[in-house]
């Protein structure tokens, strides 16, 4: 069977391992949510690293800054 890389390889940021650098592939949600996440620095093609996770909420390093986001928001960021 020939496995093709593509959309199947996307996973929400909530499933990424702490300390591992990931490339943001897609930011989902309604336009307001997308704009909010973009303003925080979550842009497709950039890197993001989970610093820590507690009860699903995560602290991430993005654009040399640390940002805390909810599990709901983290689920909209695909890596």
pTM of the model: 0.86
Q: What is the pLDDT of residues 6-38, one digit of tens each?
A: 556 899 999 999 999 999 999 999 999 999 999
pLDDT of residue 3: 38
CB-CB contact of 21 with 49 (8 Å): yes
Output helix, strand, coil percentages for the chain, rounded to the nearest 5: 25, 35, 40
Average pLDDT in the 51-71 region? 93
Q: Name the DSSP class of 18.
A: T
């Amino acid at each position: 069977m020939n496995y093709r890389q593509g959309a199947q390889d996307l996973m929400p940021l909530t499933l990424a391992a702490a300390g591992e650098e990931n490339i943001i592939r897609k930011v989902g949600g309604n336009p307001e949510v997308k704009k909010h996440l973009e303003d925080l620095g979550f842009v497709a093609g950039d890197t993001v690293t989970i610093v820590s996770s507690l009860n699903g909420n995560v602290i991430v390093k993005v654009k040399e800054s640390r940002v805390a986001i909810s599990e709901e928001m983290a689920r909209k960021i695909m890596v």
